[in-house]
């Protein structure tokens, strides 16, 4: 078997569907140090945050809440998970929205709600008329940094820091958060931390009063929450040529990788910035690299960085085929991965890739959802590729 092939040691054929009983979709995937796989999303019959944990062989891990699956309900409506992170102690952080607020839940490693977080493991945060948390990272001191947005119109990108007990950390920004304005309907979709403690947020800015296309944006704040003027002069950068930034990764040398799509969604795209925000021309000659899968739209939703500097992108081709690409550090397709740097697969029905993570042995885990038929909703879809 070659790199990019489905790993048949995972559930027999490299693929696993997980049913929570509703229209289920996975948005994040995490790999524990012991190799077990945590898949996070939303769905279930009542509409809730949903979490599944798999053993390394793809079987549901029954030590996690008894059957390998957990739902978290905030008692309201519009409950959707958008991101997740794994703490060093094995606890799992889930972020998203519930009702009109940003919502965060934390689970113990056995799947139970962590009552040291806000009393019952759940907390909502009101940043504006509509608030959503889209991404989260865990700091070395146990605090959490959230990226998200306020709305519904003319809202700002938001970055917030909360204490390990769930309380807003008022030492960060103003009252625990920093709004960042790019002049449109602005959203933070992903977040990463530099080795020096500065926080990078990537997302999108949509014009409020015109039909002009959206633009990917990146901001950086210092550890105190102050927007960092060392990044592109005012802490903000608009990435012309990319419609929205779906993922951000900071390399060990502090260079910043941002993944997304061009405005016409014709290919997957990655840009690399120097620590000061200027394009890194070592990637693709101008700081940009693209990889095309088909004549249809190719949507890039996730990114991971291998220890050797190769870049893994995951998403799907319009119509429902999961697409995974691997690029060399200079942005060229990696010819050792599925012969041309591109791997594609589905689960029989239309399948969508939304998240990617790497195992210690280099294997690539992709999560998303597979469409149901007229009598059944969508299910989580998880696959593992040889790396």
At 20-72, the pLDDT tens digits run 998 999 999 999 999 999 999 999 877 899 999 999 999 999 999 999 999 99
Predicted confidence at residue 95, as pLDDT, reads 98
- C-alpha to C-alpha distance for 239 and 237, rounded to whole angstroms: 6
Based on C-alpha coordinates, what's the Rg of the chain?
19
Q: Model-level pTM?
A: 0.96
At 313-370, the pLDDT tens digits run 999 999 999 999 999 999 999 999 998 999 999 999 999 999 999 999 999 999 999 9
Predicted confidence at residue 372, as pLDDT, reads 83
Domains in the chain, ordered, with CATH? Answer: 15-385 (2.130.10.150)
In terms of Cα–Cα distance, which of 283, 286, 300, 279 is closest to 342?
300
Which segments in the chain show pLDDT lower than 70?
373-376
Predicted confidence at residue 54, as pLDDT, reads 98
Q: How many CA atoms lie within 13 Å of 9's alpha carbon, on the beta-carbon side?
A: 9
Buried b / exposed e across 177-205, counting CB within 10 Å, b at 16+?
Answer: bbbbebebbbbbbbbbbbeeebbbbbbbb
In terms of Cα–Cα distance, which of 87, 207, 97 is closest to 144?
87
Q: Please list, in sequence order, all residues whose beta carbon lies within 8 angstroms of the beta carbon of residue 271, skipping any fewer than 6 positions away.
A: 216, 239, 242, 257, 258, 279, 283, 287, 288, 289
- C-alpha to C-alpha distance for 153 and 184, rounded to whole angstroms: 8
Predicted confidence at residue 153, as pLDDT, reads 80
Going by the DSSP 8-state scheme, the letter that residue 335 receives in this structure is: T
Predicted confidence at residue 154, as pLDDT, reads 82
Q: Please list, in sequence order, all residues whose beta carbon lies within 8 angstroms of the beta carbon of residue 386, skipping any fewer than 6 positions away.
A: 1, 2, 3, 4, 5, 6, 7, 363, 364
Predicted confidence at residue 376, as pLDDT, reads 66
Predicted confidence at residue 373, as pLDDT, reads 67
Two structure tokens written together for 303: 């990114």
Predicted confidence at residue 375, as pLDDT, reads 58
Q: Please list, in sequence order, all residues whose beta carbon lies within 8 angstroms of the beta carbon of residue 57, skipping any fewer than 6 positions away.
A: 9, 10, 11
């Amino acid at each position: 078997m070659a790199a990019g092939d489905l790993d048949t040691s995972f559930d027999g054929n490299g693929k696993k569907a997980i049913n929570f009983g509703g229209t289920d979709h996975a948005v994040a995937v995490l790999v524990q140090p012991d190799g077990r796989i945590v898949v996070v999303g939303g769905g279930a019959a009542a509409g809730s945050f949903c979490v599944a944990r798999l053993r390394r062989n793809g079987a549901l891990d029954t030590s996690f809440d008894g059957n390998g699956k957990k739902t978290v309900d905030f008692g309201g409506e519009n409950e959707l998970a958008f991101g997740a992170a794994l703490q060093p102690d094995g606890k799992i952080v889930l972020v998203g929205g519930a009702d009109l607020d940003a919502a965060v839940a934390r689970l113990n490693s056995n799947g139970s709600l962590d009552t040291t977080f806000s009393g019952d493991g759940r907390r909502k945060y009101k940043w504006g008329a509509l608030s959503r948390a889209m991404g989260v990272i865990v700091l070395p001191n146990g605090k959490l940094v959230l990226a998200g947005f306020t709305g519904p119109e003319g809202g700002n990108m938001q970055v917030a820091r909360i204490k390990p007990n769930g309380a807003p950390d008022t030492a960060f920004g103003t009252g625990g958060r920093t709004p960042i304005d790019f002049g449109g309907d602005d959203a933070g979709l992903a977040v990463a931390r530099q080795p020096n403690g500065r926080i990078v947020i990537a997302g999108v800015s949509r014009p409020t009063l015109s039909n002009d296309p959206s633009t990917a944006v990146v901001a950086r704040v210092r550890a105190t929450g102050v927007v960092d003027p060392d990044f592109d002069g005012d802490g903000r950068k608009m990435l012309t040529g990319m419609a929205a930034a779906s993922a951000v990764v900071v390399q060990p040398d502090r260079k910043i990788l941002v993944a997304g799509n061009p405005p016409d969604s014709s290919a997957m795209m990655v840009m690399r910035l120097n620590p000061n925000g200027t394009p890194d021309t070592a990637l693709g000659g101008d700081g940009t690299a693209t990889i095309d899968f088909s004549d249809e739209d190719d949507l890039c939703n996730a990114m991971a960085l291998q220890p050797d500097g190769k870049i893994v992108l995951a998403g799907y081709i319009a119509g429902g085929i999961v697409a995974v690409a691997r690029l060399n550090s200079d942005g060229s397709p990696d010819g050792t991965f599925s012969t041309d740097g591109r791997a594609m697969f589905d689960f029989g029905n239309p399948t969508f890739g939304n998240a990617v993570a790497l195992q210690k042995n280099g294997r690539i885990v992709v999560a998303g959802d597979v469409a149901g038929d007229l009598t059944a909703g969508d299910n989580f879809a998880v696959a593992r590729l040889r790396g």
